[in-house]
C-alpha cells in the first residue's frame, strides 16, 4: 500500500508500538513531530495517550507470553521493565493478580486484553487487533448479522459497478452468448450472456424480497436493458437491506417461509435463503467479469473499481 493511502491512525500506532520506541521522544521523532503535538494527535485519534497505550499493549503482550509458558523474568525484560518487581507491580495493578498467577493456555484472544477506549489490542507478535465499536455505522450489529450486512451491501454495490461497465454496450453485445452452455442453477436455465447473468442477480433479489414481504412475484423483463436493470436494482436494493435488518433485529434467521403454491408445499429457512442469494450472486458477478473480459472491457478504468474483492471495496468505502 502506498504512503498516500496509509491510514493516519495506523501511522500513529506504528510510531507508538514499534519495538525501539521506548519513550515519547522516540515515538515523536519517528512521526516527525514534537512530543507535544504527537501526544495530542494520538490522544485525539485513539482516545488514549501514547505512553499509556504502549504500556497497556505491552502488558497485554506480557499476559499472552505468560499464558504461553514464558517465565516472569523473561516477560518483564521483553515488556521493557528495568526490574521484575516493577513489572510485577504494574501487572498486578492492570490484571488484579500477580504475573505468577496468570493461568497457562490460550483459550481466546480476549483472555489477554485489557479494557481500552479505542479497541486496539495486542494480538500476536506480528499483529494488532482493532475491535469494532458496536456504536459505529449507525448501530450496526456486531455479530454474524454484521458480516451478512457487509456481504449484502457489497453484492449490491458490485452489481451496480458491473452494470455501469456495460452501460455503453449495444443491445447485440449486451445479449451476446459469451459463455455457451453456462448453467449455475439447473432450474434457472442457461446464463450465457451479460444480460442474463446480471438479470438473474436483480431478478432473484426481486423474487425473494417479494416472497418475504408477502407480495406478488414481479414479472421483470428478461433480458432487460442495462438501464432497466440499473433502475430495478436501485428500487429493490434498499428493500432487500431492510428485510435483512428486520431479520437480524428479530433474530429470525431460523424462521421458515412456506411456499404453498408448490406441490407439495416447500419451506425455506430465511438464513438459507440469504446464503443462497449471496452465494449465487457472487458466482454470477464472477461470471460477468469473465464475460466483460471477453468483450474487451476487463481492463476498463472505473473510479472506485475493486475487482469484486469485498476487502478492497470496504477499505475504499
Model confidence band, residue 246 (pLDDT cutoffs 50, 70, 90) = confident
Q: What is the pLDDT of residue 253?
A: 87
Q: What is the pLDDT of residue 298?
A: 66
Q: What does the radius of gyration of the chain's CA atoms come to, in whole angstroms? A: 26
Q: For the chain, give the mean pLDDT.
A: 83
What confidence tens digit (pLDDT) does each residue in 214-232 have? 777 777 666 799 999 999 9
Span 123-127, mean pLDDT?
Answer: 73
CB-count exposure of residue 251 (10 Å: 0-12, 13-18, 19+): exposed
Q: What is the pLDDT of residue 140?
A: 41
User: Distances in Å between the alpha carbon of 229 and those of 91, 150, 250?
Assistant: 60, 22, 31
What confidence tens digit (pLDDT) does each residue in 60-104 have? 999 989 988 899 999 999 898 999 999 999 999 999 999 999 888
Q: What is the pLDDT of residue 134?
A: 46
What confidence tens digit (pLDDT) does each residue in 1-57 have? 344 434 566 777 788 887 777 788 888 888 888 989 989 988 888 889 999 999 999
Alpha-carbon torsion angle 191, 148, 108, 6, nearest 10:
90
Q: Write down all domains in the chain, each with its CATH number in brackets.
A: 3-131 (1.10.10.60), 138-316 (1.20.120.450)
Query: Is residue 247 predicted with pLDDT exceeding 90?
Result: no
What confidence tens digit (pLDDT) does each residue in 253-306 have? 888 887 655 556 677 888 999 999 999 999 999 999 999 988 887 654 444 456
Amino acid at each position: 500500500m502506498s504512503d498516500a493511502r496509509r491510514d493516519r491512525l495506523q501511522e500513529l500506532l506504528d510510531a507508538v508500538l514499534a519495538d525501539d520506541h521506548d519513550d515519547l521522544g522516540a515515538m515523536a521523532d519517528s512521526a516527525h513531530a514534537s512530543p507535544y503535538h504527537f501526544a495530542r494527535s494520538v490522544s485525539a485519534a485513539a482516545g488514549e495517550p501514547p505512553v499509556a497505550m504502549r504500556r497497556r499493549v505491552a502488558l497485554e503482550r506480557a499476559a499472552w507470553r505468560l499464558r504461553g509458558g514464558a517465565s516472569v523474568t523473561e516477560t518483564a525484560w521483553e515488556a521493557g521493565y528495568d526490574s521484575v518487581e516493577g513489572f510485577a507491580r504494574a501487572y498486578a495493578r492492570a490484571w488484579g493478580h500477580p504475573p505468577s498467577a496468570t493461568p497457562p493456555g490460550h483459550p481466546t484472544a480476549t483472555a489477554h486484553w485489557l479494557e481500552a477506549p479505542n479497541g486496539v489490542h495486542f494480538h500476536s507478535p506480528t499483529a494488532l487487533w482493532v475491535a469494532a465499536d458496536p456504536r459505529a455505522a449507525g448501530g450496526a450489529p456486531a455479530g454474524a448479522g454484521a458480516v451478512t450486512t457487509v456481504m449484502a451491501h457489497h453484492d449490491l454495490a458490485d452489481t451496480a459497478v458491473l452494470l455501469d461497465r456495460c452501460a455503453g454496450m449495444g443491445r447485440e453485445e449486451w445479449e451476446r452468448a459469451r459463455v455457451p452452455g453456462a448453467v449455475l442453477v439447473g432450474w434457472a436455465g442457461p446464463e450465457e450472456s451479460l444480460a442474463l447473468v446480471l438479470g438473474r442477480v436483480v431478478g432473484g433479489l426481486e423474487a425473494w424480497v417479494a416472497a418475504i414481504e408477502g407480495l406478488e412475484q414481479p414479472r421483470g423483463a428478461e433480458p432487460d436493458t442495462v438501464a432497466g436493470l440499473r433502475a430495478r436494482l436501485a428500487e429493490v436494493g434498499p428493500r432487500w437491506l431492510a428485510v435483512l435488518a428486520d431479520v437480524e433485529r428479530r433474530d429470525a434467521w431460523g424462521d421458515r417461509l412456506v411456499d404453498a403454491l408448490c406441490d407439495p408445499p416447500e419451506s425455506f429457512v430465511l438464513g438459507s435463503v440469504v446464503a443462497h442469494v449471496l452465494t449465487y450472486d457472487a458466482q454470477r458477478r464472477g461470471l460477468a467479469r469473465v464475460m466483460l473480459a471477453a468483450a474487451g472491457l476487463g481492463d476498463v478504468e472505473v473510479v472506485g473499481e475493486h475487482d469484486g474483492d469485498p476487502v478492497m471495496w470496504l477499505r475504499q468505502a
